[in-house]
Structure 1
Amino acid sequence: MNRPRSVGILFNDQNQVLLMLRRKAGRTYATLPGGGIEGKETPAEACAREMLEEVNLVVEVVREVLTLKNLGHQEHYFLTRLLSGEMRLGDGPEGVRHSEENSYEPAWVGVQDLDAVNLVPEQAREMVRGLVPS
């Protein structure tokens, strides 16, 4: 199995979720920010690091909400809370690899618009809908 991944779910006060809009190999889709767990990191530590690297935000990891297998990876999904930072493409690998053919664009997306941005994996869409703050 491939290296395990850790993924962050962050809502703003307009009940929008933070997604990474992607264009890669002719496909257009969206993912929740996240990436591989490194060394002796816990999944929660990896989630906080990935959020900073990918979208320039410092978050508090609130709780794990889902673990699933996706494309050969075990993925840990965490609900997070914003502590600080200004949302933009971070200085991690995504910022370095960003190109016309392989683009990364962080964006706040309304939960009602998740179908329109092709959020993957499929399980993420319903999970996010179920976590919207009331």
Structure 2
Amino acid sequence: MMRHRAGVVLIEEGKIALIKRTVNGKVYFVFPGGGIEADETPEQAAKREAFEELGLRVEIASLLTTVERNGFQYFYVANRVGGRFGSGNGAEFTSGDCRRGSYEPVWVGLDELNGLDVRPQEVAALLNKS
């Protein structure tokens, strides 16, 4: 089933906000984001997901890129306008479903991206070029 998704690329002081995922002993990183609901634009979904996963209110600055994989994934450059990092309370933090692994909001130095498993890699590669 195709599901469109939206995510944010939030960079502050040379660091990027990512979600550290640990599933079955494997660690990787994803951009904060998730599925676009039927009544949302991609931009609205990205803002909602940033609040749910990071605890931050953001404004969308621009579309960085779109990745096509089981639907379209929109990645937006965003700026923080409020909230407290790490205070997200989305379903991924409250469901108690340990089969989905853990979700941890983290700041990662842009200079560290090359050494990490960041998904989707196409978006991380764009950031390494800038």
Normalised to the residue count of structure 2, the TM-score between the two structures is 0.90
Normalised to the residue count of structure 1, the TM-score between the two structures is 0.88
Q: Which runs of 4+ in 1 moved over 2 A?
A: 97-101, 128-131
User: Distance in 2 between the 1:103 and 1:125 partners?
Assistant: 21
The share of aligned pairs that are identical, in percent, is 30
Residue 125 of structure 1 aligns with an amino acid whose one-letter code is A
Q: In the alignment, which residue of structure 1 is the partner of 2:38?
A: 39
Q: In the alignment, which residue of structure 2 is the partner of 1:105?
A: 104
CA deviations on 1:42-100 (whole Å, 9 max, x unpaired) are: 00000000000011000001111111112x13100100001011100511112114676
More moved, 17-26 vs 75-84: 17-26
User: Distance in 1 between the 2:129 and 2:92 partners?
Assistant: 28
Is the 1:37–1:46 contact (alpha carbons within 8 Å) kept by the matching residues of 2? Answer: yes
1:86 and 2:93 matched: no
Task: Identify if the C-alpha distance between structure 1 residues 20 and 98 changes in structure 2 by more than 3 Å, giving closer, same or farther.
Answer: farther
CA deviations on 1:22-52 (whole Å, 9 max, x unpaired) are: 0013321000100000012000000000000
User: Distance in 2 between the 1:89 and 1:126 partners?
Assistant: 28
1:10 and 2:10 matched: yes
> What is the CA RMSD across the aligned residues, in angstroms?
1.7
More moved, 87-96 vs 49-58: 87-96
SS, match of residue 119 in structure 2: coil
Q: Which runs of 5+ in 2 are unaligned?
A: none
Residue 76 of structure 1 aligns with an amino acid whose one-letter code is Y
